[in-house]
Amino acid sequence: MSVVEFEIQHKDLMGRTGRFRTCHGYVETPTIMPVINPNLMTINAEELRKYGAEMVITNAYIIYKSEELREEALSRGIHSLLGTDMPVMTDSGSYQLFEYSDVEVSNAEILEFQRDIGSDICVPLDIPTPPYASRARALRDLEETHKRLREARLMIPPHGDRMLAGVVQGSTYMDLRQESAKSAADTGFDIYAIGGVVPLLESYRFETLVDIIVTVKRHLPLSAPVHLFGAGHPMLFALAVALGCDIFDSAAYAIYAKAGRYITSEGTKRAQDLEFLPCSCPICTTYTVDEVKSSADLLAAHNLRVSFEEMRKVKQSIKEGNLWELCEMRCRAHPAMVAALRRMTCYSELIERYDRVTKHPFFYLSECSAHRPEVLRYSKRLNRFKLYGSVLITTSQSQAGEFDHVFIVKPPFGPYPVELGESYPVGQAEIPAQIDEGAKTVALRNVLRLLELNSTKARFVFRCDRSWVDNPLIEEIRKYAEVEVG
Protein backbone atom coordinates (compact mmCIF):
# COMPACT_ATOMS: atom_id res chain seq x y z
CA MET A 1 0.00 0.00 0.00
CA SER A 2 1.33 3.40 -0.84
CA VAL A 3 -0.22 6.60 0.29
CA VAL A 4 1.68 9.31 -1.52
CA GLU A 5 0.84 11.24 -4.64
CA PHE A 6 3.63 10.12 -6.99
CA GLU A 7 3.22 10.69 -10.73
CA ILE A 8 5.55 8.79 -13.01
CA GLN A 9 6.40 10.43 -16.32
CA HIS A 10 9.04 8.41 -18.18
CA LYS A 11 10.41 4.92 -17.53
CA ASP A 12 13.54 3.05 -18.55
CA LEU A 13 14.78 -0.26 -17.06
CA MET A 14 13.48 -0.09 -13.46
CA GLY A 15 14.13 3.65 -13.35
CA ARG A 16 11.59 6.41 -13.69
CA THR A 17 11.23 10.16 -13.78
CA GLY A 18 8.30 11.69 -11.99
CA ARG A 19 7.25 13.99 -9.20
CA PHE A 20 5.70 13.68 -5.78
CA ARG A 21 3.82 16.14 -3.65
CA THR A 22 4.81 17.41 -0.23
CA CYS A 23 3.33 20.16 1.91
CA HIS A 24 6.03 22.45 0.55
CA GLY A 25 5.38 21.71 -3.08
CA TYR A 26 6.24 19.14 -5.71
CA VAL A 27 9.64 17.48 -6.00
CA GLU A 28 10.82 16.10 -9.33
CA THR A 29 12.52 12.73 -9.20
CA PRO A 30 15.11 11.34 -9.39
CA THR A 31 16.60 13.97 -7.12
CA ILE A 32 19.41 14.68 -4.69
CA MET A 33 18.77 16.13 -1.26
CA PRO A 34 21.84 18.04 -0.08
CA VAL A 35 22.51 17.25 3.57
CA ILE A 36 22.50 20.29 5.84
CA ASN A 37 24.48 19.94 9.02
CA PRO A 38 22.53 22.01 11.55
CA ASN A 39 25.71 22.67 13.55
CA LEU A 40 27.53 24.22 10.61
CA MET A 41 24.97 25.69 8.22
CA THR A 42 27.81 27.08 6.12
CA ILE A 43 25.64 26.85 3.04
CA ASN A 44 22.33 28.68 2.96
CA ALA A 45 19.59 26.18 2.15
CA GLU A 46 17.83 28.57 -0.18
CA GLU A 47 21.11 29.02 -2.10
CA LEU A 48 20.97 25.33 -2.93
CA ARG A 49 18.11 25.93 -5.32
CA LYS A 50 20.46 27.42 -7.87
CA TYR A 51 22.34 24.12 -7.98
CA GLY A 52 19.13 22.28 -8.76
CA ALA A 53 18.08 21.20 -5.27
CA GLU A 54 14.33 20.90 -4.77
CA MET A 55 14.51 19.41 -1.31
CA VAL A 56 17.01 19.14 1.55
CA ILE A 57 17.66 16.72 4.38
CA THR A 58 18.90 17.46 7.86
CA ASN A 59 19.36 15.56 11.08
CA ALA A 60 16.64 15.95 13.68
CA TYR A 61 18.70 14.18 16.31
CA ILE A 62 21.55 16.70 16.11
CA ILE A 63 19.04 19.52 16.46
CA TYR A 64 17.30 17.77 19.33
CA LYS A 65 20.52 17.26 21.26
CA SER A 66 21.47 20.93 21.21
CA GLU A 67 19.28 22.90 23.57
CA GLU A 68 19.67 26.07 21.56
CA LEU A 69 18.83 24.49 18.20
CA ARG A 70 16.02 22.44 19.71
CA GLU A 71 14.27 25.46 21.19
CA GLU A 72 14.74 27.44 18.01
CA ALA A 73 13.41 24.62 15.83
CA LEU A 74 10.39 24.16 18.11
CA SER A 75 9.50 27.83 18.16
CA ARG A 76 10.27 28.77 14.54
CA GLY A 77 9.91 25.45 12.76
CA ILE A 78 12.53 23.60 10.76
CA HIS A 79 12.00 25.60 7.57
CA SER A 80 12.67 28.90 9.26
CA LEU A 81 15.65 27.44 11.12
CA LEU A 82 17.22 26.32 7.85
CA GLY A 83 16.08 29.45 6.04
CA THR A 84 14.17 27.74 3.23
CA ASP A 85 10.66 26.91 2.15
CA MET A 86 11.82 23.87 0.21
CA PRO A 87 10.53 20.53 1.48
CA VAL A 88 12.70 19.26 4.34
CA MET A 89 13.30 15.62 5.23
CA THR A 90 14.64 14.94 8.72
CA ASP A 91 16.66 11.89 9.70
CA SER A 92 16.16 10.38 13.10
CA GLY A 93 19.58 9.75 14.56
CA SER A 94 19.78 6.20 13.23
CA TYR A 95 23.01 7.06 11.49
CA GLN A 96 24.47 8.16 14.82
CA LEU A 97 23.35 4.77 16.13
CA PHE A 98 25.38 3.26 13.34
CA GLU A 99 28.50 5.33 14.02
CA TYR A 100 28.50 5.59 17.80
CA SER A 101 26.04 2.79 18.76
CA ASP A 102 24.46 5.06 21.35
CA VAL A 103 21.55 7.42 20.95
CA GLU A 104 19.83 9.08 23.88
CA VAL A 105 16.35 9.36 22.50
CA SER A 106 13.46 6.98 21.91
CA ASN A 107 11.71 6.34 18.63
CA ALA A 108 8.55 8.04 19.90
CA GLU A 109 10.43 11.10 21.21
CA ILE A 110 12.35 11.76 18.00
CA LEU A 111 9.23 11.27 15.87
CA GLU A 112 7.23 13.62 18.01
CA PHE A 113 10.04 16.15 17.67
CA GLN A 114 10.16 15.79 13.88
CA ARG A 115 6.42 16.26 13.77
CA ASP A 116 6.54 19.32 16.03
CA ILE A 117 9.23 21.13 14.06
CA GLY A 118 7.22 20.68 10.86
CA SER A 119 9.35 18.20 8.95
CA ASP A 120 7.88 17.27 5.55
CA ILE A 121 9.28 13.73 5.64
CA CYS A 122 9.93 12.09 8.99
CA VAL A 123 12.13 9.04 9.59
CA PRO A 124 11.67 6.52 12.41
CA LEU A 125 14.65 5.49 14.55
CA ASP A 126 15.45 2.40 12.52
CA ILE A 127 18.44 0.26 13.48
CA PRO A 128 21.05 0.07 10.72
CA THR A 129 22.77 -3.31 10.95
CA PRO A 130 26.22 -3.22 9.34
CA PRO A 131 26.96 -5.47 6.34
CA TYR A 132 28.17 -8.96 7.24
CA ALA A 133 26.98 -8.69 10.85
CA SER A 134 25.85 -12.01 12.34
CA ARG A 135 22.50 -13.21 11.16
CA ALA A 136 21.23 -13.34 14.73
CA ARG A 137 22.05 -9.68 15.18
CA ALA A 138 20.55 -8.69 11.84
CA LEU A 139 17.34 -10.49 12.74
CA ARG A 140 17.16 -9.01 16.22
CA ASP A 141 17.77 -5.48 14.89
CA LEU A 142 15.20 -6.00 12.16
CA GLU A 143 12.47 -7.06 14.55
CA GLU A 144 13.08 -3.92 16.60
CA THR A 145 13.11 -1.79 13.43
CA HIS A 146 9.74 -3.22 12.36
CA LYS A 147 8.26 -2.49 15.77
CA ARG A 148 9.47 1.09 15.55
CA LEU A 149 8.15 1.49 12.01
CA ARG A 150 4.69 0.38 13.08
CA GLU A 151 4.79 2.69 16.09
CA ALA A 152 5.84 5.54 13.79
CA ARG A 153 2.94 4.95 11.41
CA LEU A 154 0.49 5.22 14.30
CA MET A 155 2.04 8.52 15.38
CA ILE A 156 2.21 9.93 11.85
CA PRO A 157 -0.81 8.53 10.05
CA PRO A 158 -1.25 8.50 6.26
CA HIS A 159 -2.79 11.44 4.39
CA GLY A 160 -1.71 14.06 6.95
CA ASP A 161 0.68 16.98 6.50
CA ARG A 162 3.73 14.91 7.36
CA MET A 163 5.07 12.11 5.25
CA LEU A 164 6.77 9.10 6.78
CA ALA A 165 9.63 6.99 5.42
CA GLY A 166 9.61 3.22 5.86
CA VAL A 167 13.26 2.24 6.26
CA VAL A 168 14.37 -1.18 5.03
CA GLN A 169 17.22 -2.95 6.83
CA GLY A 170 18.45 -6.57 7.01
CA SER A 171 22.21 -6.17 6.51
CA THR A 172 23.56 -8.37 3.69
CA TYR A 173 21.02 -11.17 4.22
CA MET A 174 18.79 -11.07 1.18
CA ASP A 175 15.99 -13.04 2.82
CA LEU A 176 15.95 -10.49 5.66
CA ARG A 177 16.04 -7.61 3.17
CA GLN A 178 13.04 -9.18 1.46
CA GLU A 179 11.18 -9.66 4.72
CA SER A 180 11.98 -6.10 5.72
CA ALA A 181 10.67 -4.69 2.43
CA LYS A 182 7.49 -6.79 2.63
CA SER A 183 6.84 -5.76 6.20
CA ALA A 184 7.36 -2.06 5.41
CA ALA A 185 5.09 -2.35 2.37
CA ASP A 186 2.41 -4.05 4.48
CA THR A 187 2.51 -1.26 7.03
CA GLY A 188 2.35 1.29 4.21
CA PHE A 189 4.59 4.36 4.03
CA ASP A 190 4.68 7.51 1.93
CA ILE A 191 8.21 6.87 0.78
CA TYR A 192 10.53 3.93 1.36
CA ALA A 193 14.23 4.13 2.18
CA ILE A 194 16.98 1.57 1.81
CA GLY A 195 19.25 1.83 4.85
CA GLY A 196 22.38 0.24 6.21
CA VAL A 197 24.41 0.47 2.99
CA VAL A 198 26.94 3.21 3.81
CA PRO A 199 29.75 0.74 4.73
CA LEU A 200 29.16 -1.06 1.42
CA LEU A 201 29.55 2.22 -0.42
CA GLU A 202 32.70 3.09 1.49
CA SER A 203 34.26 -0.29 0.72
CA TYR A 204 33.15 -0.28 -2.96
CA ARG A 205 31.01 -3.43 -2.55
CA PHE A 206 28.74 -2.20 -5.31
CA GLU A 207 27.73 -5.66 -6.48
CA THR A 208 26.24 -6.34 -3.05
CA LEU A 209 24.51 -2.97 -3.23
CA VAL A 210 22.92 -4.12 -6.52
CA ASP A 211 21.67 -7.31 -4.82
CA ILE A 212 20.14 -5.30 -1.99
CA ILE A 213 18.41 -2.73 -4.18
CA VAL A 214 16.92 -5.35 -6.49
CA THR A 215 15.80 -7.59 -3.63
CA VAL A 216 14.12 -4.71 -1.86
CA LYS A 217 12.58 -3.09 -4.94
CA ARG A 218 10.73 -6.21 -6.02
CA HIS A 219 8.73 -6.11 -2.79
CA LEU A 220 8.03 -2.39 -2.54
CA PRO A 221 5.07 -0.72 -4.23
CA LEU A 222 6.01 0.89 -7.55
CA SER A 223 3.77 3.80 -6.67
CA ALA A 224 6.04 5.26 -3.96
CA PRO A 225 9.43 6.96 -4.25
CA VAL A 226 12.44 5.05 -2.92
CA HIS A 227 15.35 6.74 -1.17
CA LEU A 228 18.83 5.18 -1.09
CA PHE A 229 20.37 6.38 2.17
CA GLY A 230 23.93 7.65 1.96
CA ALA A 231 24.61 7.28 -1.78
CA GLY A 232 25.82 10.76 -2.66
CA HIS A 233 28.49 10.01 -5.24
CA PRO A 234 27.32 10.83 -8.79
CA MET A 235 29.24 7.83 -10.16
CA LEU A 236 26.47 5.64 -8.71
CA PHE A 237 23.39 7.59 -9.76
CA ALA A 238 22.79 5.98 -13.16
CA LEU A 239 23.07 2.48 -11.75
CA ALA A 240 20.95 3.09 -8.66
CA VAL A 241 18.26 4.91 -10.66
CA ALA A 242 18.24 2.10 -13.24
CA LEU A 243 17.39 -0.27 -10.39
CA GLY A 244 14.54 1.90 -9.19
CA CYS A 245 15.93 4.40 -6.66
CA ASP A 246 14.38 7.87 -6.87
CA ILE A 247 15.88 9.92 -4.04
CA PHE A 248 19.47 10.37 -2.93
CA ASP A 249 21.10 12.38 -0.18
CA SER A 250 24.47 13.97 -0.50
CA ALA A 251 26.73 14.82 2.37
CA ALA A 252 29.47 13.66 0.05
CA TYR A 253 29.77 17.01 -1.71
CA ALA A 254 30.87 18.70 1.55
CA ILE A 255 32.74 15.78 3.14
CA TYR A 256 34.80 15.20 0.02
CA ALA A 257 35.50 18.92 -0.31
CA LYS A 258 36.79 19.08 3.23
CA ALA A 259 39.10 16.17 2.46
CA GLY A 260 40.37 18.02 -0.63
CA ARG A 261 38.52 15.82 -3.13
CA TYR A 262 37.17 16.90 -6.49
CA ILE A 263 34.19 14.81 -7.61
CA THR A 264 33.51 13.81 -11.22
CA SER A 265 30.80 11.53 -12.55
CA GLU A 266 33.50 8.92 -13.20
CA GLY A 267 35.11 9.03 -9.79
CA THR A 268 37.02 11.26 -7.39
CA LYS A 269 40.30 13.10 -7.83
CA ARG A 270 42.65 14.52 -5.23
CA ALA A 271 42.43 18.28 -5.67
CA GLN A 272 46.16 18.60 -5.10
CA ASP A 273 46.80 16.50 -8.22
CA LEU A 274 44.78 18.80 -10.47
CA GLU A 275 46.72 20.69 -13.07
CA PHE A 276 43.64 21.31 -15.21
CA LEU A 277 39.94 21.59 -14.35
CA PRO A 278 38.07 19.05 -16.47
CA CYS A 279 34.70 20.68 -15.84
CA SER A 280 32.72 23.64 -17.15
CA CYS A 281 30.66 24.50 -14.09
CA PRO A 282 30.58 28.16 -12.94
CA ILE A 283 33.25 27.43 -10.31
CA CYS A 284 35.66 25.72 -12.69
CA THR A 285 35.26 28.42 -15.34
CA THR A 286 35.47 31.39 -12.95
CA TYR A 287 38.33 30.45 -10.66
CA THR A 288 41.87 29.31 -11.36
CA VAL A 289 42.91 25.76 -10.67
CA ASP A 290 44.95 26.94 -7.67
CA GLU A 291 41.98 28.79 -6.19
CA VAL A 292 39.74 25.73 -6.56
CA LYS A 293 42.37 23.38 -5.14
CA SER A 294 42.86 25.40 -2.01
CA SER A 295 39.26 26.20 -1.10
CA ALA A 296 36.93 23.68 0.50
CA ASP A 297 33.99 26.00 -0.29
CA LEU A 298 34.82 26.11 -4.01
CA LEU A 299 35.37 22.35 -4.06
CA ALA A 300 32.02 21.81 -2.32
CA ALA A 301 30.27 24.06 -4.83
CA HIS A 302 31.86 22.23 -7.77
CA ASN A 303 31.04 18.85 -6.20
CA LEU A 304 27.41 19.81 -5.86
CA ARG A 305 27.29 21.17 -9.43
CA VAL A 306 28.57 17.93 -10.95
CA SER A 307 26.22 15.88 -8.77
CA PHE A 308 23.15 17.71 -10.08
CA GLU A 309 24.54 17.71 -13.61
CA GLU A 310 24.82 13.93 -13.45
CA MET A 311 21.26 13.60 -12.16
CA ARG A 312 19.99 15.70 -15.07
CA LYS A 313 21.88 13.39 -17.43
CA VAL A 314 20.23 10.40 -15.82
CA LYS A 315 16.80 12.00 -16.20
CA GLN A 316 17.39 12.88 -19.83
CA SER A 317 18.61 9.37 -20.58
CA ILE A 318 15.45 7.90 -19.05
CA LYS A 319 13.47 10.13 -21.36
CA GLU A 320 15.56 9.00 -24.36
CA GLY A 321 15.58 5.35 -23.34
CA ASN A 322 19.35 4.92 -23.13
CA LEU A 323 19.88 4.58 -19.41
CA TRP A 324 21.58 1.21 -19.89
CA GLU A 325 24.14 2.86 -22.15
CA LEU A 326 24.77 5.52 -19.49
CA CYS A 327 25.24 2.77 -16.88
CA GLU A 328 27.76 1.06 -19.14
CA MET A 329 29.69 4.29 -19.56
CA ARG A 330 29.75 5.02 -15.83
CA CYS A 331 30.59 1.45 -14.94
CA ARG A 332 33.76 1.56 -17.04
CA ALA A 333 35.33 3.98 -14.57
CA HIS A 334 36.25 1.50 -11.85
CA PRO A 335 36.50 -2.31 -11.59
CA ALA A 336 34.07 -2.25 -8.66
CA MET A 337 31.57 -0.55 -10.96
CA VAL A 338 32.18 -3.20 -13.63
CA ALA A 339 31.36 -5.78 -10.97
CA ALA A 340 28.13 -3.92 -10.24
CA LEU A 341 27.14 -3.82 -13.91
CA ARG A 342 27.85 -7.53 -14.28
CA ARG A 343 25.69 -8.20 -11.25
CA MET A 344 22.95 -6.09 -12.82
CA THR A 345 22.96 -8.38 -15.87
CA CYS A 346 22.13 -11.28 -13.51
CA TYR A 347 18.80 -9.50 -12.96
CA SER A 348 18.02 -8.84 -16.63
CA GLU A 349 15.05 -11.19 -16.52
CA LEU A 350 13.46 -9.18 -13.71
CA ILE A 351 14.42 -5.81 -15.20
CA GLU A 352 12.91 -6.89 -18.52
CA ARG A 353 9.50 -7.12 -16.87
CA TYR A 354 9.65 -3.44 -15.91
CA ASP A 355 11.41 -2.18 -19.00
CA ARG A 356 9.66 -0.29 -21.77
CA VAL A 357 9.01 -2.05 -25.06
CA THR A 358 10.67 0.37 -27.45
CA LYS A 359 13.42 2.87 -26.89
CA HIS A 360 16.57 4.42 -28.26
CA PRO A 361 18.47 2.12 -30.71
CA PHE A 362 20.47 -0.54 -28.85
CA PHE A 363 24.20 0.35 -28.65
CA TYR A 364 26.54 -2.53 -27.94
CA LEU A 365 29.17 -0.96 -25.66
CA SER A 366 30.77 -3.84 -23.76
CA GLU A 367 30.44 -7.57 -23.22
CA CYS A 368 27.76 -6.75 -20.62
CA SER A 369 25.54 -5.56 -23.48
CA ALA A 370 25.13 -9.21 -24.53
CA HIS A 371 23.10 -9.81 -21.38
CA ARG A 372 20.83 -6.80 -21.51
CA PRO A 373 17.09 -7.14 -20.81
CA GLU A 374 16.32 -6.38 -24.48
CA VAL A 375 18.35 -9.39 -25.61
CA LEU A 376 16.57 -11.64 -23.14
CA ARG A 377 13.21 -10.34 -24.28
CA TYR A 378 14.10 -11.03 -27.90
CA SER A 379 15.02 -14.59 -27.00
CA LYS A 380 11.67 -15.10 -25.27
CA ARG A 381 9.85 -13.85 -28.34
CA LEU A 382 11.50 -16.18 -30.82
CA ASN A 383 8.52 -18.49 -30.37
CA ARG A 384 6.47 -15.96 -32.34
CA PHE A 385 8.15 -17.11 -35.56
CA LYS A 386 6.30 -20.05 -37.14
CA LEU A 387 8.49 -21.42 -39.91
CA TYR A 388 7.67 -23.81 -42.74
CA GLY A 389 9.64 -25.00 -45.76
CA SER A 390 13.26 -24.06 -46.35
CA VAL A 391 15.00 -21.55 -44.10
CA LEU A 392 18.40 -19.88 -44.45
CA ILE A 393 20.05 -18.56 -41.30
CA THR A 394 23.21 -16.65 -42.17
CA THR A 395 25.90 -14.71 -40.37
CA SER A 396 26.92 -12.99 -43.59
CA GLN A 397 24.96 -10.85 -45.98
CA SER A 398 25.05 -13.65 -48.59
CA GLN A 399 21.53 -14.89 -49.24
CA ALA A 400 22.32 -16.92 -52.37
CA GLY A 401 19.84 -19.72 -53.05
CA GLU A 402 16.09 -20.18 -53.00
CA PHE A 403 14.55 -20.16 -49.51
CA ASP A 404 11.08 -19.61 -48.04
CA HIS A 405 12.56 -17.61 -45.15
CA VAL A 406 15.87 -15.81 -44.68
CA PHE A 407 17.23 -14.89 -41.23
CA ILE A 408 20.34 -12.80 -40.61
CA VAL A 409 22.33 -13.46 -37.42
CA LYS A 410 23.23 -10.33 -35.51
CA PRO A 411 25.08 -10.70 -32.20
CA PRO A 412 24.05 -10.63 -29.43
CA PHE A 413 20.38 -10.99 -30.48
CA GLY A 414 20.74 -13.85 -32.94
CA PRO A 415 18.51 -14.55 -35.93
CA TYR A 416 16.07 -11.97 -37.29
CA PRO A 417 14.03 -12.12 -40.49
CA VAL A 418 15.57 -10.07 -43.25
CA GLU A 419 12.27 -8.18 -43.57
CA LEU A 420 12.78 -6.72 -40.04
CA GLY A 421 16.10 -5.18 -41.02
CA GLU A 422 14.99 -1.69 -40.02
CA SER A 423 12.95 -2.57 -36.96
CA TYR A 424 13.60 -2.16 -33.24
CA PRO A 425 15.42 -3.78 -31.53
CA VAL A 426 17.57 -6.06 -33.70
CA GLY A 427 17.42 -4.25 -36.99
CA GLN A 428 18.37 -0.94 -35.41
CA ALA A 429 21.00 -2.30 -33.01
CA GLU A 430 24.46 -0.83 -33.49
CA ILE A 431 27.21 -3.33 -32.84
CA PRO A 432 30.99 -3.09 -33.26
CA ALA A 433 32.47 -4.53 -36.47
CA GLN A 434 34.49 -7.02 -34.47
CA ILE A 435 32.26 -8.62 -31.89
CA ASP A 436 33.38 -10.70 -28.89
CA GLU A 437 32.80 -14.44 -28.46
CA GLY A 438 30.33 -13.86 -25.62
CA ALA A 439 27.96 -11.97 -27.88
CA LYS A 440 28.31 -14.64 -30.57
CA THR A 441 27.50 -17.36 -28.07
CA VAL A 442 24.33 -15.56 -26.99
CA ALA A 443 23.39 -15.17 -30.66
CA LEU A 444 24.03 -18.86 -31.38
CA ARG A 445 21.94 -19.90 -28.39
CA ASN A 446 19.07 -18.00 -29.95
CA VAL A 447 19.75 -19.64 -33.31
CA LEU A 448 19.48 -22.99 -31.56
CA ARG A 449 16.27 -21.92 -29.90
CA LEU A 450 14.74 -20.96 -33.25
CA LEU A 451 15.86 -24.30 -34.71
CA GLU A 452 14.43 -26.31 -31.84
CA LEU A 453 11.12 -24.46 -31.97
CA ASN A 454 10.68 -25.15 -35.70
CA SER A 455 12.53 -28.40 -36.30
CA THR A 456 9.46 -30.43 -37.29
CA LYS A 457 8.06 -28.13 -39.98
CA ALA A 458 11.11 -26.50 -41.53
CA ARG A 459 14.46 -27.47 -43.08
CA PHE A 460 17.40 -25.27 -42.16
CA VAL A 461 20.66 -24.18 -43.71
CA PHE A 462 23.01 -22.40 -41.33
CA ARG A 463 25.61 -20.42 -43.26
CA CYS A 464 28.51 -18.84 -41.39
CA ASP A 465 32.00 -17.54 -41.99
CA ARG A 466 35.15 -19.04 -40.47
CA SER A 467 35.12 -16.82 -37.42
CA TRP A 468 32.07 -18.69 -36.12
CA VAL A 469 33.03 -22.34 -36.61
CA ASP A 470 35.11 -22.74 -33.47
CA ASN A 471 32.17 -21.95 -31.23
CA PRO A 472 31.13 -25.18 -29.45
CA LEU A 473 27.45 -24.45 -30.17
CA ILE A 474 28.05 -25.11 -33.91
CA GLU A 475 28.08 -28.85 -33.13
CA GLU A 476 24.64 -28.50 -31.53
CA ILE A 477 23.39 -26.58 -34.53
CA ARG A 478 24.50 -29.40 -36.85
CA LYS A 479 21.83 -31.59 -35.24
CA TYR A 480 19.10 -29.39 -36.76
CA ALA A 481 20.67 -27.66 -39.73
CA GLU A 482 22.99 -28.21 -42.62
CA VAL A 483 26.03 -26.07 -41.76
CA GLU A 484 27.79 -24.29 -44.65
CA VAL A 485 31.09 -22.59 -43.88
CA GLY A 486 32.49 -20.01 -46.24
- Among positions 54, 91, 120, 374, the unique one binding ligand GUN when judged by CB under 6 A: 91
Whole-number Å distance between alpha carbons of 212 and 235 = 18
Least distance CB 269 / Zn ion (angstroms):
11
Which CB, 280 or 396, lies closer to Zn ion?
280
Choose among Zn ion, ligand GUN, none what residue 207 binds, the Cβ cut-off being 5 to 8 Å by kind: none
Report if residue 293 touches Zn ion, rule: CB under 5 A: no
Report if residue 190 touches ligand GUN, rule: CB under 6 A: no
* Inter-residue contact 461 to 482 (CB < 8 Å): yes
Applying CB under 6 A, the span of 10-18, 92-100, 210-218, 467-475 interacting with ligand GUN comes to 92-100
Choose among ligand GUN, Zn ion, none what residue 94 binds, the Cβ cut-off being 5 to 8 Å by kind: ligand GUN
Report if residue 299 touches Zn ion, rule: CB under 5 A: no
**CA 440 from centre of chain:** 29
Whole-number Å distance between alpha carbons of 145 and 447 = 50
Report if residue 64 touches ligand GUN, rule: CB under 6 A: no
Choose among Zn ion, ligand GUN, none what residue 31 binds, the Cβ cut-off being 5 to 8 Å by kind: none
Choose among Zn ion, ligand GUN, none what residue 167 binds, the Cβ cut-off being 5 to 8 Å by kind: ligand GUN
Which CB, 155 or 281, lies closer to Zn ion?
281
* Inter-residue contact 250 to 307 (CB < 8 Å): yes
Choose among Zn ion, ligand GUN, none what residue 62 binds, the Cβ cut-off being 5 to 8 Å by kind: none
Adjacent-strand bridge partners of 484: 463
Whole-number Å distance between alpha carbons of 260 and 296 = 7
Applying CB under 6 A, the span of 123-131, 220-228, 259-267, 420-428 interacting with ligand GUN comes to 123-131
Choose among Zn ion, ligand GUN, none what residue 149 binds, the Cβ cut-off being 5 to 8 Å by kind: none
Which CB, 173 or 237, lies closer to Zn ion?
237
Three-state DSSP state, 226: strand
Residues 162-181: x/- map of binding to ligand GUN (CB under 6 A)? -----x--------------
Q: What's the number of CA atoms in the CB half-sphere (13 Å) around residue 340?
A: 31
# residues near ligand GUN by CB under 6 A: 13
Burial degree of 266 (CB within 10 A; 0-12, 13-18, 19+)? middle
Site for ligand GUN in 377-416 (CB under 6 A): none
Whole-number Å distance between alpha carbons of 444 and 66 = 66
Distance between the two ends of the chain, CA-based, in angstroms? 60
* Inter-residue contact 253 to 42 (CB < 8 Å): no
Choose among Zn ion, ligand GUN, none what residue 119 binds, the Cβ cut-off being 5 to 8 Å by kind: none
* Inter-residue contact 32 to 53 (CB < 8 Å): yes
Q: Identify whether 186 is a catalytic site residue.
A: no
Which CB, 177 or 302, lies closer to Zn ion?
302
Applying CB under 5 A, the span of 90-98, 268-276, 296-304, 473-481 interacting with Zn ion comes to 296-304
- Among positions 63, 279, 301, 429, the unique one binding Zn ion when judged by CB under 5 A: 279
# residues near Zn ion by CB under 5 A: 5
Report if residue 74 touches Zn ion, rule: CB under 5 A: no
Report if residue 230 touches ligand GUN, rule: CB under 6 A: yes
Whole-number Å distance between alpha carbons of 467 and 470 = 7
Which CB, 162 or 305, lies closer to Zn ion?
305
* Inter-residue contact 150 to 166 (CB < 8 Å): no
Least distance CB 293 / Zn ion (angstroms):
12
* Inter-residue contact 349 to 219 (CB < 8 Å): no
Choose among ligand GUN, Zn ion, none what residue 126 binds, the Cβ cut-off being 5 to 8 Å by kind: ligand GUN
Whole-number Å distance between alpha carbons of 65 and 256 = 26
Cα dist from 126 to 131, 137, 150, 157, 396, whole Å: 15, 14, 11, 18, 59
Report if residue 198 touches ligand GUN, rule: CB under 6 A: yes
- Among positions 284, 304, 344, 368, the unique one binding Zn ion when judged by CB under 5 A: 284
Which CB, 41 or 281, lies closer to Zn ion?
281
- Among positions 6, 20, 229, 354, the unique one binding ligand GUN when judged by CB under 6 A: 229
Whole-number Å distance between alpha carbons of 381 and 383 = 5
Report the relative pairing of strands 15-22 and 6-12 from DSSP bridges: antiparallel
Q: Name the residue with the smallest CB distance to ligand GUN.
A: 195
Whole-number Å distance between alpha carbons of 372 and 346 = 9
Nearest to 304 by CA among 324, 335, 283: 283
Q: List the alpha helices (DSSP H) in 188-334.
A: 198-202, 206-217, 237-242, 252-258, 282-286, 289-293, 296-320, 323-331
Contact positions vs Zn ion (CB under 5 A): 279, 281, 283-284, 302
Task: Tell me which residues are annotated as active site.
Answer: 91
Contact positions vs ligand GUN (CB under 6 A): 91-92, 94-95, 123, 126, 128, 167, 195-196, 198, 229-230
